[in-house]
Amino acid sequence: MAQNQGVSNTVGKPIHCRAAVARKAGEPLVIEEIIVAPPKARELRVRVLCSALCFSDIHFWRLKEPHGYYPRIFGHETVGVVESVGEGVEDVKVGDTVIPSFLAYCGECPDCTSIKSNQCSKLRFELSPYIRDGTSRFSDTKGETIYHFGYTSGFSEYTVVDITHVTKVDPALPASRACLLGCGVSTGVGAAWKTADVEEGTTVAIFGLGVIGLAVAEGARLRGAKTIIGVDLNPDKAEIGKKFGITHFINPRELGSKLASEVILEMTDGLGADYCFECVGLPSLSQEAFTSCRKGWGKTIILGVDKPDSQFILNSLVNNHSGKTITGVQYGGLKPNLDIAILAKRYLEKELQLDLFVTHEIKLEDINKAFKLLIEGKCLRTVIWFDQGRARADGVSFNEI
């Protein structure tokens, strides 16, 4: 198969390949030749098949300070094939299909061995521009260092990842669907299943119907939620949301002087929704979600990513006496090494609707068009193909944008 061709010629050697490099904050990515170093101990080099563009990529691509490191290779919803492995790598081998993850799993620390957490306490998540050993495996043809992103950097034909950041997956899973499990879809479904633990017959309110919000709806639908309320400024999301189980749609622009929380309280006889999810990354929406949540046992889950120094304020009296809870979570509370396989199985069994999330599939050369589509709200997930031979083999028809 193509995934094994040339392995003997590249193992232990630098690879020259193409990547979409962010040279400056907020400026178009540059398709250029880069050099990817061989993996060191407990690392593997991955030949990227395809990557999807997540809004978190855009969020950090816009940042100058803090955490704005350039030049940089973004991309954290990725699937690829192992090209070579460093010393001490035993869990995966050359030719395996893997999904890199921004969350680590060491398998030994109190968090990794507990069902209560997906936050590895040995290898904590940080907004680092490097791989786990504090160095980069990327450079340009002039020798300048190119920084990593999220321990994954999937917008390159090859990337190097620490073994604690990869999950082996069934190669029967289509690549353009597998990459979605690296972040957005898993985050939303996981938040509904694991963080909220949505029960049958309950009411769910979702603020923001991007991929994460729609994935929350999908997870709630699969859990048997009776009422799923979607809140979004984009009127097109009303019809799109129905495909994922949204039963009621609220566009705040159509409410006049009313707030979405007021409407949700009216719809629920003044009680509020059992579970509320903030999926945009705005303090004002976090407050709206909490206000919309049921007294007594309501739970609000914050999934949106805002600027690092952003804050939101809760009324102390209401918080202390309402019986509500509010929590933030990464990756929906899922453990990538365990739960990605479960989501993949649910897709292959035709339960989890991954297909509906993919609205565009394009070539690497069009990656900046993918940014424009997502910023303008004209897509859900755009899959960027790095291995066009594999794309043709999978029957992909590239979108003309």
Given the residues 51, 56, 176, 292, select the one marked as catalytic.
Answer: 56
139 is an active site residue: no
Catalytic residue chosen out of the listed positions 50, 51, 54, 286: 54
Between CA 202 and CA 214 the distance in angstroms is 17
Catalytic hit among 50, 76, 120, 279:
76
What is each CA distance from 114 to 117, 121, 216, 337, 348, in whole angstroms?
6, 11, 24, 13, 28
Active site annotation includes 114: no
Q: Is 56 a catalytic residue?
A: yes
Question: What's the order of all strands across the beta sheet hosting 203-207?
Answer: 248-250, 227-231, 203-207, 275-278, 299-302, 325-328
Known active-site residue 59: yes
Q: Cα separation of 401 and 395, whole Å?
A: 19
- Of 50, 112, 120, 183, the catalytic one is 183
Active-site residue (options: 17, 59, 128, 139)? 59
Q: How many CB atoms lie within 10 A of CB 12?
A: 9
Tell me the chain's radius of gyration from C-alpha atoms: 21
Active site residues: 54, 56, 59, 76, 183
